[in-house]
Structures are given as C-alpha cells and as structure tokens.
C-alpha cells in the first residue's frame, strides 16, 4: 500500500513539472521568434564630407573621409522603428591658403553613437531623425607651404573638445531585403576645436554621409 501511495504521489508531482518544462520551452521559442521578427543587426559603411559651421578660423571647405560600424534596429511595426549605431567616423575640415600655408587640414576621428527614430513610407523609403553623441579618439593636422613635408602632427588636447553632441537626419532607400543606401546630415552643437585653436573657436561639426547598409 505504501509503495502504491508513493508511486501515485510521484506521478502527481511529476506531471506539473513536465508541463512547466514544456511551457518554458514554448516561451523560449516564442521569444526567439519575436526577436527574429522584430530585431535585426547589420553593417554600415560609406563616405564622409565634413567641415565646420560658424567657423571663425579656417573658412573651411569639406574634407573627405570614411565611416564604418554596426547598427541594431528594433521594429515597432512595419512603418516605425528605432535604430542605434556604433560608428568610427573620420571627420575634420580643410582650407586652401590658410594663414602662411598653401593648404591646411585638420582630421578628427570619432567613435559616434547615433540613436535614431525611423519612419518608413511605402516599401522602400525611410526617414530617420535623432540625436548622437561622439567621442574624439584622435586629432591630427597637416599643412603644406612652410616645408616640403606634409607629415601630420597631433593637435594638442587643449585645442580639442573630447565630446560632441548633435543631431542627425537622413533618408534611406531599401534596394533588397539585405541592402540599403542612404544619405544623412549630422550637425554638432559643440565647437569641434577649443578656443585655444589659433585663438578662436572653430565652429561645430557639419558632416554629410553617404552610406551603404547590409542587414544580417
């Protein structure tokens, strides 16, 4: 009799446990499926054309550079999404006949983190808008005119601002399920170079970006 009772008790306890295990497995499967449907990751790379606005020093022209990094997107619906990026961005400005130089360029390389809202129209066109924060990784200046050498020189930390804050706005066009192209404008709110740079503030970053996006 005791063995029968123990057997029945064991079966009674085991059945809910097996049910719970199946429930957990179903929850995991549903979560994985949800992530697959609503979250995606990819690569972003392209060209920069950068300069400064409100520039009191260089009266700068745009400097060509590149950007490269990763993004993650969360889709709230087929039309609305949020995207965060981690981008290495080569920026700066150049000037011809600056001061005593025949030409001059300052290169500012940033780790840039935009957080953007996206709104899609139709099946292919997306508008994006949002803030960014950027951390200065290194800064160089190069010039021609005083010597035959144009080897780049470091810009003093006293002449730079280590953080940039700004806003980004752009358009993207979906070419296929995995590849898109886009154009974006980035406008900084903080002077890129400090007031010690040739005695005056340099102005804020102004960057036009042409990008390709590859979704995993």
More confident residue, 103 or 205: 205
CB contact at 8 A, 109 and 139: yes
More confident residue, 77 or 57: 77
Query: Does pLDDT of 145 surpass 90?
Result: no
The pTM (predicted TM-score) of the whole model is 0.78
More confident residue, 12 or 189: 189
Q: Which fold has domain 40-215?
A: Porin (2.40.160)
CB contact at 8 A, 106 and 139: yes
Tokens 């049910």: give the residue.
19
The stretch 105-125 carries a mean pLDDT of: 95
The stretch 79-99 carries a mean pLDDT of: 89
Q: Which of 108, 122, 125 is nearest to 170 (CA)?
A: 125
Domain boundaries, the chain: 40-215
Query: Does pLDDT of 4 surpass 70?
Result: no
Q: Which of 101, 30, 23, 88 is nearest to 60 (CA)?
A: 101
What are the backbone dihedrals phi and psi of residue 43, each rounded to the nearest 5 degrees, phi first? Answer: -110, 150
């Amino acid at each position: 009799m005791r063995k029968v009772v123990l057997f029945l008790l064991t079966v009674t306890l085991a059945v809910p446990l097996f049910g719970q295990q199946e429930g957990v497995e179903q929850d995991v499967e549903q979560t994985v499926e949800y992530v697959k449907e609503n979250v995606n990751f990819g690569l972003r790379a392209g060209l920069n054309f950068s300069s400064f606005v409100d520039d009191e020093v260089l009266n700068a022209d745009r400097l060509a550079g590149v950007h490269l990094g990763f993004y993650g997107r969360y889709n709230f619906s087929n039309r609305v999404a949020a995207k965060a990026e981690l981008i290495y961005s080569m920026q700066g400005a150049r000037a011809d006949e600056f001061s005593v130089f025949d030409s001059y360029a300052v290169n500012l390389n940033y780790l840039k983190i935009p957080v953007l809202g996206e709104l899609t129209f139709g099946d292919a066109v997306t508008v994006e808008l949002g803030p960014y924060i950027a951390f200065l990784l290194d800064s160089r200046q190069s010039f021609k005119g005083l010597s035959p050498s144009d080897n780049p020189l470091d810009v003093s930390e006293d002449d730079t601002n280590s953080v940039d804050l700004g806003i980004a706005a752009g358009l993207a066009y979906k070419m296929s399920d995995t590849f898109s192209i886009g154009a974006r404008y980035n406008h900084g709110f903080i002077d890129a170079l400090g007031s010690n740079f040739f005695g005056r503030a340099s102005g804020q970053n102004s960057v036009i970006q042409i990008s390709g996006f590859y979704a995993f």
